[in-house]
Amino acid sequence: MKEETITNKLACPTDRRPFGQDDISGAEWQGSRIFKARLCCPDCQTAYPIQDGIAFLLPPHLSLHSLSEQTARDEDATGYEKTKAPYETKQERKALYQGVNFSSHTVVVDIGAGPGKRYTHDLAQRAGQVVAIDLSPEMLLLNATIAQTTLPPDVASRIDYVVADATALPLQPKKFDVALFAQVLEHLKPETHVACLTDIKNSLTPEGHLAMSVYNLKATGRDIRRHPADIFSLVIGTFPDEHRGNFRSGYHDLNGEKEKLYYYNFTSPELYQALCKAGFTVDRITGILSLPQQLPSILRAMLDPVLTNRIPTFACNRGQFLVAHATPSFTSIN
């Protein structure tokens, strides 16, 4: 953990007071980075450890929802990204990066970084600094290990790691050029969505850019194997809303255990409204379209971008994920 990241980018998650140099004590260094230390907020007197170079900036009392999510993510750390096929990852990355300008001066916050193979490590090769945030310490330890063993040392050194809750982001205002928020908001309870997005908006510079993805309600439906007549209406987006009720929210099974990971499926208008309420100006909302794996990869690579870019309504109706790009307006809409 770089000292500059602590003092210029991070804040106490309890009262959002920025950390200063005097708030760091007992620092043990590895080269130019802090390996172990204690952070203490002088206002609320809450102490936070830095261990193995990772800052643990969690509020003193995590909600039961966050505790359950953290436990599930810790247990699933090593297998999390094995479910992500390279093709699907490439499609999502392309959609999220579209219109984002990276340079050696770009400062990125990757919220929900996980083990890092999908975004953190790629972002470090595009930007000057990446702050990788995740609720799971095990995910971030794996992220750091993979970065140190697969990336050039100068690229790996661009990443700092923070254990934090997305509902209490420990970020200083107007410090980040880009916020990447991929497949995280759908795992938070609906009553926290606008507040979380507002925290992200406040962390961005006035010219900042939010790129995010969420589960798409329009892509859910009844089991097509049992109701084959629904396949056409599902594809064109006219699937009856009453058939979607069981898919609005629920819990994913994880390693055979039920009710481990909460999920919430969004509609495009709903996501747009949440972003506007948080004070964003929405540039666009599209869908990530990924055609069936049974099709030849060359055909999928040709058709996916055509359908996504030329027929955006089709992508929003059929895509597994919605992708939003937005910029901070710093004026909330009530």
Helix (H) or strand (E) holding 257: strand 257-264
Dist. CA 40–CA 35, nearest whole Å: 16
Q: According to the model, what pLDDT value does residue 74 have?
A: 74
Tell whether the torsion through CA atoms of 225, 229, 235 and 238 is positive or negative: negative
Q: What residue ranges in 41-193 does DSSP mark as E strands?
A: 47-51, 54-56, 107-111, 129-134, 159-163, 176-182
Backbone φ and ψ of 86, nearest 5°:
-55, -40
**CA 291 from chain center: how many Å?**
23
Helix (H) or strand (E) holding 25: strand 24-30
Position 238 in a domain: no
How do the pLDDT tens digits run along the chain, 334 residues long? 999 999 999 999 999 999 999 999 999 999 999 999 999 999 999 999 999 999 999 998 877 778 777 877 777 666 665 555 576 677 788 889 999 999 999 999 999 999 999 999 999 999 999 999 999 999 999 999 999 999 999 999 999 999 999 999 999 999 999 999 999 999 999 999 999 999 999 999 999 999 999 998 877 653 333 444 444 454 544 444 444 445 788 887 655 555 568 889 999 999 999 999 999 999 999 887 666 666 666 676 677 666 666 666 666 766 778 999 999 996 544 4
Q: According to the model, what pLDDT value does residue 226 have?
A: 41
Position 113 in a domain: yes
Q: Model pTM?
A: 0.86
Position 35 in a domain: no
Position 271 in a domain: yes
Position 49 in a domain: no
Dist. CA 261–CA 136, nearest whole Å: 13
When divided into structural domains, the chain yields a total of: 1
Dist. CA 259–CA 189, nearest whole Å: 14
Q: According to the model, what pLDDT value does residue 244 have?
A: 45
Q: Which candidate, 180, 146, 198, 159, places its Cα nearest to that of 33? A: 159
DSSP conformation letters of 80-111: GGGGS-HHHHHHHHHHHHTT----TT-EEEEE
Position 32 in a domain: no
Tell me the residue range of the domain where 86 lies: 58-219+252-328
Question: Helix, strand or coil for residue 182?
Answer: strand
Position 290 in a domain: yes
Question: Helix, strand or coil for residue 164?
Answer: coil
Q: According to the model, what pLDDT value does residue 231 have?
A: 47
Domain with 174 in it: what CATH number? 3.40.50.150
Q: According to the model, what pLDDT value does residue 104 have?
A: 96
268-277 vs 193-203: helix crossing angle, rounded to 10: 60
Q: According to the model, what pLDDT value does residue 308 have?
A: 65
